[in-house]
Structure 1
Amino acid sequence: MTNSFKVKIGQGGFGTVYEGKLLTGIPVAVKLLNASKRNDEEFINEVVSISKTSHVNIVTLLGFCLEGSKKALIYEFMANGSLDKFIYKREQEPETITSLTWEDLYQIAIGIARGLEYLHRGCSTKILHFDIKPHNILLDENFCPKISDFGLAKLCPRDESIISISGTRGTMGYLAPEMTNRHFGGISQKSDVYSYGMMLLEMVGGRRNINPKADHTSEIYFPHFAYRRLDVDNDVRPYEVMNAEEDEIAKRMSVVGLWCIQSLPNDRPTMTRVVDMLEGNVNSLEMPPKPLFSSPTRSET
């Protein structure tokens, strides 16, 4: 299928992803997992959770291989790879990466929101993803976004709002406060909403939310910078020439992102509400309260 793992297209702590092709000619991505107990758990988790889904914004698992300690997952092939390489374009080789327009980013944001809404409300079993970040959003040849990597996902009854999990799940920088400190509230689908909000702000900022190389301390933590810019100057990208339509998209995504990263879960919108805010009248969007967390210091960064 992979021609002896000839073409590598991705690498992570979980293992390696290779390009392949089925006998029918359909291109696939084959994720070959490292041998570890944690990967055993994530393999089972991914197969069980993703097999319950069917949505245009959720990546399709075509099959899996299990032979002794060897485990592989076979997905539909996503021609444009993951979203992070487009967001952090300046950190990579710009000439090799297609530029996304603001309309592209806006449609990608809506697609991801619809996918998350489906996991939380439209699926036969509620699925909490717990690792929403740009690296786990894949883009097909038409830049339609699909949520991937369900290794940390948790299935729970539809009527349960607060769930119990052991340890911390997710990636630093996208973790909701309650994931590390239960004083903020219980763990629920609102934890995914927080991660989505942090990702949305990275899409607007075109950079990682925490930037230790920023010239000014206030710009190190982008959510803080974005809030100040919106609140004071009504301009979230002051260094970029934008037309009125692009400016509206950037502001809309910023306001929604800032609502999603409210410190207390109850203050965050549901993903259904997020979709409404992204698609509704921008003039009806209210500025959220200022996030409790201020800019991290350089030493902490």
Structure 2
Amino acid sequence: MARFYIQAVRSWLRDHFFKKRKERKERESAFVENGSKLLEKLIASCNGRSIPIRNFSAQQLHLATNNYCEPHLEYWYKGSLEGRIVLVNRLSDAKILAYLTINDIVISAQMSGHSNVLKPIGCCLDTPCPILVYEFAANGILADRIYVSRVTELRHQPMVWERRLKIARQIAHAISYLHIGFSRPVIHMAIDMESILLDENDVPKLSNFLVSVSIPEGETEVEAAGDFWSSKFKTPEIEATGKAMEKTDVYHFSEFLLELLTGEELYIDKDSSLTAYIRNHAQGRCISKIMDPTILAEQQLQAVLDLTLRCTEDDPQRRPTMVDVTKELRRIERFVPYD
């Protein structure tokens, strides 16, 4: 009997040893592969500038998040690292998403100096899909404060118009920086309410650079990988040519503006354009009937609606740039008359 137990213990120890060795090798392999990809992209995109990115182990993040037991938002977990509250973005265990998460951390790092971008702290590379660590955003996502249905369900106070307008201008400025702040313009490609988080003072933080893409040097457009885009993010130029440009972000921003105005999530029939949607629902009707009833500033509303229409032109060349959009929103904020 004693010999049987000894053999059983030896067998368990052997299996445990081989299992642990296999897990260690998998972590080491993931770290080398993900780390080399991250280093390659940082070197290619940062022009020699030093961008500090901390590396955390999978065990550190398990401890920091108490085994991911407290979701702050979908895929986002509240954690504590070295006495600091953080957001841990654990997108998936699927290796296929590794490239996208590395893309996110690289662009976030480049943008980390902008006050309206969610600042990255570090990442974990020893998992099949890297896990990202960001500054904490205490007030969640903007969608929960704008969409009337969510505001009601979560019993939030509706966001006042002045705050909405300021957020629109701040996010426009962050996107403008993506377009003009680097040697090669970066297109965000996924601007929406879910991609904007709010800190404890309701300062908006742009995030989600998973599918953002740089325009090649000497070019004005870039191939848009169709597999990633929901119908909400299809624009006339992507539908027609499969390519995106800086003005693609302008079109997406117009969707964001319209949702700010109406307080409703935008659903567009696949056979309709955003421009047609706005004109069919807005033009010829009293503006107060299509806008969030908590907003009373009708003059500013009309100005923002006019700007939204200009941003939805089917011809990208007729849309304003994001720099122009930012300037216009600042003028509307200040009640400065149009030229």
TM-score by length of 1: 0.79
SS in 1 for 2:73: strand
Q: Distance in 1 between matches of 2:215 and 2:290?
A: 43
1:51 corresponds to which of 109, 130, 133: 109
- CA–CA distance in structure 2, aligned partners of residues 73 and 6 of structure 1: 17
Note if 1:277 corresponds to 2:334: no
User: Which of 314, 322, 326 is equivalent to 1:263?
Assistant: 314
Specify the code of the residue in structure 2 equivalent to 1:40: A
Contact 2:262-2:290 within 8 A present in 1 as well: no
Alignment length, in residue pairs? 269
Tell me the residue number matched to 1:64: 123
1:171 aligned partner: 230
2:76 pairs with 1:31: no
RMSD: 2.7
Give the deviation of 1:165 after TM superposition: 3.8
- Please state whether the residue corresponding to 1:284 is helix, strand or coil: coil
Identity %: 28
Higher Cα Rg: structure 1 or 2? 2
Q: Distance in 1 between matches of 2:140 and 2:273?
A: 27
Instruction: Measure, in 2, the Cα distance between the counterparts of 1:5 and 1:146.
Output: 23
Q: Compute the displacement of 1:110 (Å).
A: 0.4
Structure 1 residue runs without a partner (length 5+):
213-219, 286-301
Q: Of 77, 87, 101, which residue of structure 1 is paired with 2:160?
A: 101
SS in 1 for 2:114: coil
Aligned partner of 1:232 in structure 2 is 284
Instruction: Provide the residue aligned with 1:153 in structure 2.
Output: 212
Distance 1:80 1:270, change over 3 A: same
In 1, Cα distance between equivalents of 2:276 and 2:231? 17
Shift of 1:234: 6.1
275, 300, 312: which one aligns with 1:249: 300
Aligned to 1:87: 146
> Could you tell me whether the CA contact under 8 Å between 1:103 and 1:249 is conserved in 2?
no
8 Å CA contact retained: 2:151, 2:158:
no
Give the C-alpha shift of residue 269 in structure 1: 0.8
In the alignment, the residues of structure 2 paired with residue 176 and residue 152 of structure 1 have an alpha-carbon distance, to the nearest angstrom, of 15
Change (3 A) 1:159 1:144: farther
Mean alpha-carbon deviation: is it higher for 168-177 or for 191-200? Answer: 168-177
Q: Which runs of 4+ in 1 moved over 4 A?
A: 220-226, 228-231
| C-alpha deviation, 1:124, in angstroms | 5.0
Secondary structure in structure 2 of the residue aligned to 1:55: coil
Cα 1:227/1:22, change in 2 over 3 Å:
same
* Structure 1 CA distance for aligned equivalents of residues 145 and 294 of structure 2: 19
Cα 1:186–1:258, aligned 2, differ >3 Å: closer, same or farther? same
Which structure features the higher share of helix residues? 2
Are the structure 2 counterparts of residues 121 and 43 from structure 1 closer, same or farther at C-alpha, using a change threshold of 3 Å? same
TM-score by length of 2: 0.71
Q: Is the 8 A contact 1:132 1:196 kept in 2?
A: yes
Maintained 8 Å contact 1:152/1:170? no
- Structure 2 CA distance for aligned equivalents of residues 32 and 205 of structure 1: 32
Q: 2:265 aligns with which of 188, 208, 214?
A: 208
Q: Which amino acid aligns with 2:186?
A: I
Structure 1 SS opposite 2:122:
strand
Unaligned runs of 5+ in 2: 1-63
